Structure 1
């Protein structure tokens, strides 16, 4: 729960450092004194958007820092997951906003993304404002209330896992249908492409071999002339081969009288063998080289056919054409077996849907039990709050499978016996909605252990005995390891707080300044008396304030 709040250079606040106590506390002050400023500062610690205009004029930055005691709330896992130092007795949230608009967030002095601060803040503080009363118009909020009271988180988790698998497979079925439909529309063209590529009978590396063969045939005369001359230089009677042979023989002749020549003779002999082999290969190639126009035309036609296919399919090699053929054949196979594929995928979807509905029915059963409990308890809570003839019903309808089940929830309400029950947001007055929301918050706070709950003028539209009852509910909520803070204009609520804070505004040399102080017992009497009688505090108001404070 909130232990300490420090604010510096935030809008009208120069510097504020104030402790907060467990239990039920109240904040009072005249309209415009700055209570909304305090809430705005706390909102920044919960991850709300920052604005450079929030920095006090003439200052470089503002700082908002809060210390929390989390020792009773088992939140260590969050800190381990986010790799943040954990101190259950003193968890620190800090937000700094510069005059240039930059904002930084810290948790236990470690810089953190604002999203992480927001995620933690949602587990630390719940600020209930009049704006939050609009939640009664939202089905998801009403369903979440039922779920909290149903203690169905484990079953809901099981259902959501099943629904996720079902939804994913359902999407896959839709994609498969689209692909098959698209393929069927192009089936004739697909078959044509396969036939065209199969007819081409493409071979690996064929294009490169064709290009080389065409290059050779195109220069056949030039090649043959060069080969002929080379063959003549090497293989003629007076060619290089015969001359090397003769030179080799001469060296061997003197080898016995001149041993130093032996190595050279052997090397020359090896050269002779190699040169003779080269000469024979050149002679062979010379015999095989002939210019054949028909063969050249045939090769060109084949290469043009490959080029044409590559251009048509926007590729540059025959290997890519081979890969395209394989892909097209796969599409053919899929198309040929599309009915079986659709049937198998549909069976998978049907099976997952059955599992989902079974899980959803278990959820519904838990929610129905919780709905009965909710109806009874709301009846019991709202009657003492000045709605003696209240009727409250949780209507559970059905809807298609969704991520939270098949149940459609609507809170029905009537403040008297003669009016038909209708959705609460449509028929309840502002004061009645405030009492409904307070009752709901009181119920669910016992299950969801939020450390701190702040009610911002929850007392709108009520007074007198009803206000006192509302204060008793908030007081009770603050007695169970929770901290409840109420911003109020009603003395009946202010009197029941165990701690009383006052927000005031004053004119100084620096301009208008907002302050917040913790009131002493004597100051509380004066403040509540002023709330009772206005600016002119009468002795009767003082006595009345003392009486109210005795009842807390």
Structure 2
């Protein structure tokens, strides 16, 4: 005989459960009797309820079955509703349980659902022999069931608050670590003493110092061509200007050209002075070159790191 404590069993659904393909049983208030000959499936209903209560699955019973098995029960009393559902995946040998739509473990089923059932045999009462049920009997006998539910509700709220507190602490720790990282990065950038355009300046300076000899050689050739050789551009412009000055006595229209040549000569002389000063500043310093390369490498690493 099967009885229900605390919450009456209202409906029972079975699908692909052992020999039952699809069944929906509705129970009336009060006493219900299920009868049938041997093999009609009465024991399977008890097995289904025990399965809802967290009993282990006998996988041999479901060997060869591919379709998912489902057992679901609805308990109702004075507006209080409890819906329990447990499914079996025979191929993956996995089960999943839900209580009122939320995931539930087997231990939760054993704690919350199994006490709803009392299974009586001819010579024993299994529930009375289970020490884990004695406290619930005591609560019912002393009228403490309502207080028990209140305590359970408060305990569940306590668990929720503790979970929320742990989450907030984790969030605070994560934010603290992010702040520490940002402070470290900011200090690293401050110590770097960055200047706008520094990378371009370093690249140009390294290129210049790496080719000092080639630059000096080329500058000296240009100085010779512009000023120092007897056949330099300056000397040729000077000679051309003297010739035109003599010819200018015969034709005044040559004077603008003479002035232009004089300006050309002055420009050559200015360029020569600037190149001389540039050539004097060129000096190969291996230590300075190495420092520049190290600084450029450091700046490029920062660029990769921070974008």
| TM-score in same-fold range (> 0.5) | no
Q: What band does the TM-score fall into relative to the shorter chain?
A: 0.3 to 0.5
Q: Please say which structure displays the higher CA radius of gyration.
A: 2
Q: TM-score if structure 1 supplies the norm length?
A: 0.24
Q: Which fold has the larger relative contact order, with Cα–Cα distance below 8 Å and residues 6 or more apart in sequence?
A: 1
